[in-house]
Amino acid sequence: MRGRPHLFTSYEGEQSLLPTWTQRVMLALFLVLLVTIPLQFVPGVQFLGSDSWLLVLNRVMIYAIGALGINILTGLAGQVSLGHAFFMGIGAYTAVVLGAPASDRFWGMGLPIWIWLPAAGIVAAIVGIIVAPTAVRVRGLYLAIVTLGLVFIGEHLFRNLTFITGGAGLGRDWPELAFRFWKEEEPLIDFSSRGPWFGIEFSGAAKTYFFMLVLLILFTLWHKNLARTRIGRAFQSIRDRDIAAEVMGVADAKNKLRAFAISSFFAGVAGALLGALVGRLVPETWNLLLSVQFVAIILIGGAGTTAGTLLGSFFVVAIPRMVEDLTRMLSVQVRTDGPFAWLGDFIIADQGDFGLVSTVANGPGLSIFQTNLALYGFLIIIFLIFEPLGLFGVWIRIRNYWKGWPFSY
């Protein structure tokens, strides 16, 4: 059976999470790599273990959890949703009300993480179930526009419910990432401040990294497993041909409702984690752009695939950081007249010369933030035009190239 990944001789083999030994070994190696990143001893990826990059990776993992959620709804069940940011907001504010301490201006209950994190997902899922009957009635592109309306309505609510959200442009503090049994002073496990674990000194970012990694692995397993269960197969049959699915006895509305609920659960947890990671978020965070980012993640990664979703999250979240680094490097090159100074001259606009990107505020050309945004838009367009299957499609093409080598097919 070697070299024939799609040849199955039993139903168990076809349904297993990792059908081939190559996949198992690769995954094990990848997991070891992920665990050792903060320890910084694998050559080549040591820079990822620095605190600033760990922050980016933590965000990548939170986005990956959210993206896995929208992948269930859009990738598996085929329902296009632009309302993901709304459900993330619901989860985030559930977490803040349950987890943050009360003050005279804000609601809060100061409960521990093992209550507020699952509750964030559950409340978001319940809101998803409430919204679903409207969403199930409309189909295709109508659904995209309806969920777009949801984001705007949500933004209005979040801006005005000041006792929960802290008010427009201000926000409030989220509970920290720390494990307590109840409301005791000293947390049992602290995920966000520097200290030793098992005799090794870790920074706060590294501890958060391990916490997120465990969560991400759990959610990835859930997602991967869901796709092969009865419910997951029902989702896929609705995506592929809803009438045929109904004829075969797959309840259309019921399964769409399930997809909304599960997807919202993922979104709620991701929203709560994002709030806890950043510490303070304004209500305008949960806007259309955030929703579009999630759609972009699964499109760039490859809709319907687990590996693609994770890759897409890394790509979409880490790109702004890379653009920032690149711009900084180029501006240093210009200043010191390095070998890439000509490229920097061309791209960076300063002191009145022409260029695409400017490093000073209000200069000519786009700011770094705007460059990132424009690059997003451009990448979404380019990926859809040239590689509709996303990064996963690129991987398939590389794999097929080596499979057939030295022949072209």
Identify which range of 194-202, 217-225, 371-379, 395-403 contacts another protein by CB under 8 A: 371-379
Assess contact for 84 and 69: CB atoms under 8 A.
yes
Minimum Å gap between C-beta 239 and another protein is 11
User: Please, where are the H alpha helices in 279-408?
Assistant: 288-301, 306-336, 341-347, 368-386, 390-404
Identify which range of 118-126, 194-202, 210-218, 291-299 contacts another protein by CB under 8 A: 291-299
Question: Looking at beta carbons only, is 200 or 243 nearer to another protein?
Answer: 243
Interface pick for another protein out of 341, 373, 394, 396 (rule CB under 8 A): 373
Question: What would the two tokens of residue 108 be?
Answer: 């809060």
Q: From CA 267, how far away is CA 288, in angstroms rounded?
A: 14
Q: How many residues bind another protein (CB under 8 A)?
A: 61
Assess contact for 174 and 276: CB atoms under 8 A.
yes
Assess contact for 357 and 327: CB atoms under 8 A.
yes
Q: What phi, psi does 32 have (nearest 5°)?
A: -60, -45
Q: Does residue 7 bind another protein (CB under 8 A)?
A: no
| Footprint on residues 310-329 left by another protein (CB under 8 A) | 320-321
**Bond into 5 cis (ω within 30):** no
Minimum Å gap between C-beta 116 and another protein is 20
Identify which range of 13-21, 46-54, 110-118, 294-302 contacts another protein by CB under 8 A: 294-302
114: Cβ contacts below 8 Å, ≥ 6 apart: 179
Q: Does residue 141 bind another protein (CB under 8 A)?
A: yes
Interface pick for another protein out of 13, 101, 377, 404 (rule CB under 8 A): 377
Question: Looking at beta carbons only, is 34 or 297 nearer to another protein?
Answer: 297
| Footprint on residues 78-137 left by another protein (CB under 8 A) | 80, 134, 137
Question: Looking at beta carbons only, is 241 or 254 nearer to another protein?
Answer: 241
The 251-290 contact track toward another protein, x by CB under 8 A, reads -----------------------x---x--xx-xx-xxxx
Q: Does residue 389 bind another protein (CB under 8 A)?
A: no
The 52-81 contact track toward another protein, x by CB under 8 A, reads -------x--------------------x-
**3-class secondary structure per residue, 217-286:** HHHHHHHHHHCCCHHHHHHHHHHHCHHHHHHCCCCHHHHHHHHHHHHHHHHHHHHHHHHHHHCEECHHHC
Pairing of the two strands 357-358 and 348-349 = parallel
